[in-house]
Structure 1
Amino acid sequence: MGLLSFVLGLAGCDPQRIAELEEGVSTEADVRARFGEPEKIWEASDMADTPLPGAAAEPGARTLEYNRQPEGQVNYMITIGADGKMSALRQVLTPQTFAKVLPGMRMEQVRRMLGKPMKVTPYPLKQETHYDWRYLNPPGTPRIFTVVMDRDLRVLGTGSVDEENVRPAGGNR
């Protein structure tokens, strides 16, 4: 229970941390001082093959992934430009981002778009693996987005369900 409180406390501090950062002014050191060590660091070349890579694919850019899964409902991608300044801060677990996950995409592309998933479930008999992310559907409904991958880790399809249907309140979790 203590770890859960700690994780929820971290996510609850995110709006304050974000308010303290300014695009074009804040440095990577400023980002790390507020968010800590990133889950993963993506180079510009890593981000170039994602849909609409924007600033993340500019030469010399690096994207820091700050994951709030499995208990949180957000994942942040914070891009640091070649000049060492923050050029973008995005919360990527949104229906708009999910719509860009298309059949045939590789798992690594999806991972760079959405960050680390909450849960990975292999289904050996079906030769599929399901990757799940928790998110809030506007205006605030807790949901789970699932990407179904084939045995070659290419997207077969996607879907979303209300979290209540998967983890009923008061039921076993």
Structure 2
Amino acid sequence: MRPIYRWIWSLGAAFGLLALTACDPQRIAELEEDVSTEVDVRDRFGEPENIWQEPDGSRTFEYNRQPAGHQNYMITIGPNGKMTALRQVVAPHMFGQVRAGMSEQEVRRMLGKPAKRTTYERKQETDWDWRYVDPPTTEMLFTVTFGPDGRVLRTGRSMVQRDGP
């Protein structure tokens, strides 16, 4: 692909993702717990990235907005087919629940797909990063570091570094 076309395509993709995440508040406002159905959720949000089966027979749909966005949504559909919960999970109150020793799957179920995964071969560690906004407008990263056994070693938060002047 020629560079100018690649740039135009990238710009179009970025605007498309921005439009997708900008519509989230409207989509959320159109849904109501214990009233909206699975069909309503899929009509508003589309196909989920992942579907987690819960012990009580409900299912949790994972909708990711990473890496360009700052949210991940978990929407629970009860055994009766009605939406029972809609949560934005990339948030400080959720980060505090990540504990040393948790597995990668436990963290993924809690926070959704990370924006970025980085493996450090020599240290035998892997970092998962999620982007979020610390109100009012500070862009941040929440990082979970896993050891070679796929278990949480530590977590951390940092500001997103911007390139340029």
Please, what TM-score do these two structures have when normalized by structure 1? Answer: 0.87
Aligned CA RMSD, in angstroms, stands at 1.0
Give the match for residue 36 of structure 1: 46
- Structure 1 residue 74, shift from structure 2 partner: 0.2
2:85 alignment counterpart: 88
Q: How many residues align?
A: 155
Corresponding residue for 2:3?
none
Aligned partner of 2:120 in structure 1 is 123
Q: Which residue of structure 1 aligns with residue 22 of structure 2?
A: 12
Secondary structure at the residue paired with 2:76?
A: strand
The answer to whether structure 1 residue 26 and structure 2 residue 36 are counterparts is yes
The separation in 2 between residues aligned to 1:140 and 1:83, in whole angstroms, is 39
Query: Rg larger in 1 or in 2?
Result: 2
Shift of 1:141: 1.4
Q: Deviations over 1:65-85 (max 9, x none)?
A: 000011000000000001100
Which of 76, 89, 94 is the aligned partner of 2:73?
A: 76
CA drift of 1:60 comes to 1.2
Q: Which whole-Å CA distance do the structure 1 matches of 2:94 and 2:141 have between them?
A: 14
CA distance, structure 1, for counterparts of residue 29 and residue 164 of structure 2: 35
- Runs of 4 or more above 6 Å deviation: none
Give the aligned residue type for 1:110.
Answer: V
Q: Provide the residue aligned with 1:145 in structure 2.
A: 142
Q: Which one of the candidate residues 151, 154, 170 is aligned to 2:164?
A: 170
Shift of the alpha carbon at 1:21? Answer: 0.2
Mapping for residues 93-104 of structure 1, pairs under 5 Å: 93-104=90-101
Letter in 2 for 1:41: I
Cα deviation for residue 137 of structure 1 reads 1.4
Q: Once the two structures are aligned, what percentage of the paired residues are identical?
A: 59
Q: 1:139 deviation in Å?
A: 2.6
Deviations 1:18-54 (A, max 9, x none): 0000000000000000000000000004xxxxxxxxx
Letter of the 2:153 partner, please give it.
Answer: L
CA drift at 1:140: 2.7
Unmatched tracts of structure 2, length 5 or more:
1-10
